[in-house]
Amino acid sequence: MALSAKQNLRRTMRERQTSRTVTSHLLPTFARVDLAFERGEGAWLVATNGERYLDFTSGVAVNALGHAHPRVAAAVAEQAHRLIHVSNLFRVPEQERLADRLCAASFADLVFFANSGAEAMECAIKTARKFHAVNGAPERVRIITFEGAFHGRTLATLAAGGQKKYLEGFGPVVEGFDQVPFGDLDAVKRVIGPTTAAILIEPIQGEGGVRVASNAFLRQSRELADKHGLLLIFDEVQTGMGRTGDLFAYQHTGVEPDIMALAKALGGGFPVGACLATAEAGKGMTAGTHGSTFGGNPLAMAAGLATLDVMLAPGFFDRVRKTSLLLKQRLAEMKDRHPGVIAEIRGEGLLIGLRSVVPNGDFVNALRAEKLLTVAAGDNVVRLLPPLIVEEAEIAEAIGRIDRAASALERTERPVKEGAPG
């Protein structure tokens, strides 16, 4: 008798279980480290085996206020007891409040709330295309993007990112993206045509390896956009919400976008994304043009409001900038001490990349062995993403761990000199 699909699956699972140490019913799309946590506090995570880790990943730039921030935890708990969800069939006062505050703090007039970075980016792409459509130029759909970019894992945002390894095997690539080398203004000029709608830039490429766009490049992109009637979109999903030492990275570049995507740290750990736009850029997005069941739910909004309360308190960003300076100075010492491990230090605020000499995965593993958690990125970079509330003593602790990890790598990378004892 033929086996049912489910029986077949069970058999495959059993076969797999015999050949793997970690068995799981999860779709294995992540190459996970065999480590789990049961609680956290500030910059620290406690593993299920009781070991304490200094967390310089912050859930990939999400937990900007550290773990279990009392203000965020209380806001989420309190809101959960009142209302978690009502849908966008009705007004959501918390949504209006968070939109007001994001607009007061930025270039924007309008906000659409989503649940993730990719969704925020989808809204940004749709908003740019619709702007031209309602302007009588529906053929203007193409968006200029940059090599090394990352904009998410939906079909359109994958096409925008243009990474072959992520697109392969998923059928036709969504049309409408023209990719040029990062920071290459001449290439941007060459590719602008009658169907171009927008230029999409990460002010700092995060996943791409903490590659910082120069202010001159951003300014010239703005000028080009204005000259050709294009919209300028910034993907600040990773750089936004304080990560670079201002609420938004664009604020210290002197260049304002027309549309901006936010997510990662916006909810202080709670999933929420947002697409911000000027009234002009957003004018095509009328009733019925876009939507989300969960987007802007009261629970996510409470998390976002609490996060903003903390970040917008006087002195918060002064402290982030001071901590950043200290971390960069100490990392520069590490680079001088370990030239065989650390090639370069780059980034802004607390979005810092160490370009590694050894394979970056080895460096991340060596740091984890010292109980310091970091994230690999493109261009052989190790990303340091401490929570924005990290203390000076924790920076000193991290530097000690980086020093030990780099020394350990030197010992394994370089064979002991001939004749040396031992």
Ligand X SMILES: *Cc1c(COP(=O)(O)O)cnc(C)c1O
**Site residues, ligand X (CB under 6 A):** 116-118, 121, 150-152, 202, 206-207, 235, 237-238, 263-264
Residues 6+ apart with CB under 8 A from 323: 350, 386, 388, 390, 392, 395
What are the distances in angstroms from CA 166 to CA 36, 173, 236, 376? 26, 11, 21, 17
Smaller CB distance to ligand X: residue 262 or 399?
262
Smallest gap from Cβ 385 to ligand X, in A, equals: 11
Token pair in block for residue 163: 């990474």
Reported for 361-369, long-range contacts at CB under 8 A and 24+ positions apart, including other chains, are 362/409, 363/405, 363/409, 366/405, 366/406, 366/408, 366/409, 367/401, 367/402, 367/405, 368/33, 368/35, 368/53, 369/405, 369/408
Closest contact distance (angstroms) between CB of 115 and ligand X is 8
Smallest separation (angstroms) from ligand X to the CB of 364? 18
Nearer to ligand X, 179 or 238 (CB): 238
Q: With beta carbons less than 8 A apart as the criterion, state whether 267 and 293 touch.
A: no
Contact between residue 173 and residue 206 where contact means Cβ atoms under 8 Å apart: no
* Nearest-angstrom CA–CA distance, 249 and 221: 16
Looking at beta carbons only, is 108 or 399 nearer to ligand X? 108
The CA-CA-CA angle for residues 100, 306, 125, to 5°, reads 50
- Select 152 or 298, whichever has its Cβ closest to ligand X: 152
Min dist CB 206 to ligand X, Å, is 4
We find the least distance from the C-beta atom of residue 179 to ligand X, in angstroms, to be 15
Least distance to ligand X from the beta carbon of 312, Å?
A: 22
Per DSSP, 390 falls in state -
CA–CA separation, 21 and 228 (whole Å): 57
Q: Strands 110-114 and 37-41, how do they pair? A: unpaired
Three-state secondary-structure class, residue 32:
coil
The minimum distance between CB 397 and ligand X, in angstroms, equals 27
Where does 151-290 have alpha helices with state H?
155-161, 164-167, 185-191, 215-228
Residue 341 or 375: the one with the smaller Cβ distance to ligand X is 375
CA–chain centroid gap for 333, Å, is: 27
Identity of the residue, 142 or 264, whose beta carbon is nearer to ligand X in the bound complex: 264
Whole-number minimum distance, CB 5 to ligand X, in Å?
A: 30
Q: How far is CA 97 from the centre of its chain?
A: 24
Considering beta carbons, is residue 40 or 148 the nearer one to ligand X?
148
User: Which residue has the closest beta carbon to ligand X?
Assistant: 117
Q: Nearest to residue 324, comparing CAs of 41, 56, 45?
A: 56
Element at 37 (helix H, strand E): strand 37-41
CB of 154 to ligand X, least distance (A): 8
Residue 218 or 342 having the CB closest to ligand X = 218
Q: Which is nearer to ligand X, 150 or 250 (CB)?
A: 150
